[in-house]
Structure 1
């Protein structure tokens, strides 16, 4: 195919963004915190963050001051040094981005954790990342006590606490400049370890640099730069421990001077109330939220949503019927889809309604600065438009690798710097990317990643289970739910029930990883090399439940 007929696709097999190029900072010393405040003088008095439930707000001036004070406390009181890891274990709040910026501002590394994690799951990440300090809230303190690590509590409990309160730190600290520390932080330094299951297997620490976050922020907001959008108000109920919430919904918008309205978690009525009260213009969501907003017309109609201009959906594919149903309830808003991964710091492509109506099923055009290949999964040769293959991506926002896991890194990033996503997709003849299936084995439950290998390992520790396999079952609300095929022990007195198996797993994992069904089988189909034949099980599972 010639480059003349499809300018976004070259004879070298590379698809390139058709969007105007974005300029990334040339100064290698301009790291995450200086970058977010680089235009500070123009929006210092503007509102940066609002707590949706309390109405508490921080101007950009307040934000800068609190970040500076906390950074100073981390350096002076906790002796946190460059490249030390600080674990943030908290639900969404206006203090979450303050904590993140303070940690990375002194050259330390932030690692975030799902607040729903069990002590066992949390222990795995603590062991792997080796944090020197934990920032958490009162409600979660009991989960981290046994680590015997210094702790900062963002919320103040009624009882006694053997640690330090955030409010005390900030109120007592002078707004001392941390410029001396910030000057030693460069774009190539590691900023965060965000845990993802990657293309296969257990959760791994994705190594992201300051440059990665800055690149993503620039790519995500290229349209605001290009089209000169007015100041926007974003509603964020997406978890900030996740790349979508942290990088795309929060950091990218703050660096543009936009306001972020923060919700601890998604609740429809509270979200609609916040949308109305704070005149929200943009909202990031995941498919289950869009589905619910489409079905609850009566509830939506009770709120004034006229300020909302865009609903951007990611984390999993969104069906055409779901988009159309939701659009009826928000006639003034467009609904667009995007595509990204933790390994790409949250962004690869997004629909652009300025160049035409959204195309249901497409994840849009490559954002500026992204290159892509579609590789034949058998021949490993690049494919032209309309031919499906594995999606490979390359750009300034790509991770550096998996923390302390060179094998997994080499399996995901090749020698030319291409990140193998494990997703199957294709481009149309206008440059839109379609993600149609996953080569990888991950199960996507409401945007969360569930690794079958992790659940299988737990199942095999049960004395009455001899073999097991976990596969996805399509679900209208969640997208997919994990279901287990289980082989009972050969013991004659084995009385294991499906409920027993579900309860066994539920006690050990976060709610989104729990099994939604158990199918007992005589054996687990496997290949000659011992690999589970998941495709065969996936075909069977719908007829069994």
Structure 2
């Protein structure tokens, strides 16, 4: 008889693994299924798929799937001639065109890669040189950022605009308006696309080092869609929920939720081209938004606002990207008692899936990332000995599930060090799972500060420093030192009007921690650099601290 996990924690002593306490999601048996066909085949009562928050323009589900089919027909034909296995790039802010481009490309078996519109031309050229896209979707404003030489020389460009202008340069061969209006050709040649084929090539945030291309398959995306639908119980509901898209669609969180996942369950997605608090509040009220997925900095801004913001019929806030503190959750609950906070944990390498809190009760376990997602197994592994650890012991989190990436693009070495032959993804996060099966993320393994052989988690010191009444924001990094290896250095953003000194910061910490955890250097800055999902860009701060330039 197979060993059974403990009902309370999900831990199985015989296999030394944790099993999700949530019911497994059903996965389609048809091997020849791509994520687009899977999404389009879902039955639901939804009518409006997408709304442009700025203009009020609405796209119904019928119009969406008609546009995707038309765009796919045009993409497959000359002059675009996009084929299975080739890469298509989207370089764009959020728009109602983004999902059409993404779904049309993936339906052909092409591999989708996305770039941050804020990236420099040099950063975009580097991604183009690695991914080698043959087609790029971008806006007129961002077109100059695409490389015209080297790997960018032959890229065929589709503008995410309604029409072409006489002044558009030669790489532009079509607009999304034109290709979406193409009559679908049911007789066109279709490549066989299977669940095991690559669907996306997303570049991980690289908060600790250079970013790597993460390849996810159609199976990864299909299982992610199923998990999202079971999490929000949207299929079983008669009411249409309205989600506001504040997070960037080029990021895994935005792409899986808004350009794919939620379109399978009849939800309406209101698209903000970029986040601004007044515009977000207007959209919530004007379009009857009920769900607000966001990253922690937006939540912080909503709580810090001097007035109680008008949130209309908003019922749930979904936070991802970085864990929320007890103070933040409690403060938000007190200010907005009608809104539930839910959290999620995931990586680009796990298609943004891993753990989540799905009710106010689960979220009230402060500091948790939640219970393991459906269809998920986990191990907590001692980084020194490789031993799998039981309940309430801290080690590196390994997860296994149908949504885990295929590997890193053209990087066998990184793939082998991150994915085990039997499918475990080493997350690089130091975690523990408690006696009730809740996951707690302690820190990034690679970000641990090694002081005289002791390991110091920066997140612990950051959480402590944020309790100081004069500190607005903070980041702690390892500062190299010949004698001790590394010691903790804090970058601090003071609150308005504060004259907090370096000595006061160091004394505040020293009184509350073991000697090896003391902050031994402080610099004051105007803001902490963070990526799109709210994670601290430590590598930028380490570079700043170790360069000879004046702070």
Please give the TM-score of this superposition, normalised by the length of structure 1: 0.79
Tell me the distance in 2 between the aligned counterparts of 1:317 and 1:515: 20
Distance 2:73 2:125 in 1: 28
Query: What pairs with 1:214-229 in structure 2 (closer than 5 Å)?
Result: 214-225=222-233, 228-229=236-237
Query: 1:381-422, CA deviations, whole angstroms, 9 ceiling, x for partnerless residues?
Result: 111111110010000000000000000000100122110010
1:423 corresponds in structure 2 to 429
- Residues matched between the structures, number: 470
Distance 1:227 1:256 in 2: 6
Worse-superposed segment, 242-251 or 165-174: 165-174
Change (3 A) 1:9 1:408: same
Decide which moves more: 160-169 or 128-137: 160-169
State how 1:299-338 maps to structure 2 within 5 Å: 300-301=308-309, 303=310, 305-338=311-344
CA contact (8 A) 1:199 1:422 kept: no
CA distance in structure 1 between the aligned counterparts of 2:69 and 2:294, rounded to whole angstroms: 31
Tell me the residue number matched to 1:188.
Answer: 196
Q: Following superposition of structure 1 onto structure 2, how do residues 143-542 of structure 1 map, counting pairs within 5 Å?
A: 143-144=145-146, 146=148, 147-148=152-153, 149-155=155-161, 156=163, 160-162=167-169, 163-167=172-176, 169-170=178-179, 173-177=182-186, 180-181=189-190, 184-197=192-205, 201-225=209-233, 228-229=236-237, 230-298=239-307, 300-301=308-309, 303=310, 305-353=311-359, 356=362, 358-441=364-447, 473=491, 518-519=544-545
Residues 101, 236 of structure 1: alpha-carbon distance in 2 compared, 3 angstrom cutoff: same
Aligned with 2:24: secondary structure?
A: coil
In structure 1, how many angstroms separate the alpha carbons of the residues matched to 2:487 and 2:57? 47
Shift of 1:28: 1.2
Partner of 2:455: none
Q: Would you say the 8 A contact 2:234–2:265 is kept in 1?
A: no
Residue number among 93, 104, 107 corresponding to 1:105 in the alignment: 107
TM-aligned CA deviation for residue 178 of structure 1: 7.2
**How far apart are the structure 2 equivalents of 1:29 and 1:236?**
31
Q: 1:471 to 1:172 in 2, by over 3 A?
A: farther
Match in the other structure for 2:116: 114
Residue aligned with 1:414, SS: coil
Instruction: Kindly state the Cα deviation for residue 518 of structure 1 after the two structures are TM-superposed.
Output: 4.1
Report the secondary structure of 2:84's partner residue. Answer: coil
Q: Secondary structure at the residue paired with 2:322?
A: coil
Deviates more, 1:66-75 or 1:216-225: 216-225
Distance 2:361 2:29 in 1: 30
Question: Aligned-pair distance for 1:296?
Answer: 1.0
Change (3 A) 1:376 1:271: same
Change (3 A) 1:141 1:204: same
Deviations 1:232-270 (A, max 9, x none): 111111010100000034421111111111111111111
Segments of structure 1 that go 5 or more residues without pairing to the other structure are: 457-467, 478-497, 503-510, 523-543
Aligned-pair RMSD on alpha carbons?
3.4
Question: By how many angstroms is 1:473 displaced?
Answer: 3.9
CA distance in 2 between counterparts of 1:30 and 1:126 reads 28
Residues 297 and 329 in structure 1, CA contact (< 8 A), matched pair in contact too = no
2:135 to 129, 133, 136: 133
